[in-house]
């Protein structure tokens, strides 16, 4: 039995989790420079304390609709994949949860392919399901192309 920390976050009302060890920081994605000719998931590039971070919109990545009018300013979580810095733009960050591996389940088979490949598994929390995302496939160019 082992316990893991997860940063929980919301995108389009759904609760997601990312392994806390993978999350470098949480920030407001501001001063975005759009990248022309890139895929629609790419929100742009920005300067985060002297590093160039590529912001990826989680809603578009997951095939969800745009944010509602008047929604609070989005947040981004800083992740590193293949040595590159990324910011996954999300709606809000909830909290860090300690979860027991025993409550972990593989992703159900009836998910759309776009979701299935970026999901590590699911935790059954008391109120709802927590979907654990895999930053690697989420932000990998190869997987993005396939999506």
Stretch 67-126 residues interacting with another protein (CB under 8 A): 81-82, 84-86
Determine if 33 is a binding residue for another protein (CB under 8 A): yes
CB of 71 to another protein, least distance (A): 24
Write down the least CB distance from residue 52 to another protein, Å. 5
* Contact status: 5 vs another protein (CB under 8 A): no
Q: Is the CB of 53 or the CB of 122 nearer to another protein?
A: 53
CB 21, CB 132: distance < 8 Å: no
Considering the rule CB under 8 A, would residue 36 count as an interface residue with another protein? yes
Q: At its nearest, how many Å lie between another protein and the CB of residue 121?
A: 24
User: Please, which residues have CB within 8 angstroms of residue 97's CB and are 6 or more apart in sequence?
Assistant: 5, 6, 8, 17, 130
Cβ 66 to another protein, closest distance in Å?
17
Q: Which residues, 6 or more positions from 61, have their beta carbon under 8 angstroms from its beta carbon? A: 41, 88, 118, 138, 144, 147
Q: Is 35 in the site for another protein (CB under 8 A)?
A: yes
Q: What is the DSSP string of 57-107?
A: EHHHHTTPPPPPTTPPPPEEEEEEETTEEEEEEESEEEEEEEEEGGGEEPP
Is residue 32 a contact partner of residue 55, using CB atoms and an 8 Å limit?
yes
Q: Which residues bind another protein (CB under 8 A)?
A: 31, 33-39, 42, 45-47, 50, 52, 54, 56, 81-82, 84-86, 139-141, 144-145
């Amino acid at each position: 039995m082992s316990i893991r920390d997860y940063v929980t976050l919301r995108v389009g009302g759904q609760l997601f989790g990312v392994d806390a060890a993978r999350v470098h920081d949480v920030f407001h994605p501001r001063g975005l420079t759009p990248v022309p000719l890139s895929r629609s998931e790419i929100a742009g590039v920005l300067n985060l304390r002297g590093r160039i971070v590529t912001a990826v919109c989680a809603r578009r990545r997951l095939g969800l609709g745009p944010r509602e009018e008047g929604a609070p300013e989005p947040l981004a979580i800083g992740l590193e994949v293949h040595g590159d810095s990324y910011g996954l733009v999300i709606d809000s960050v909830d909290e860090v949860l300690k979860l027991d591996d025993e409550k972990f389940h593989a992703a159900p088979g009836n998910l759309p392919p776009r979701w299935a490949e970026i999901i590590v598994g699911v935790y059954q929390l008391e109120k709802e399901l927590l979907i654990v995302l895999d930053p690697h496939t989420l932000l990998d160019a190869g997987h993005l192309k396939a999506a």
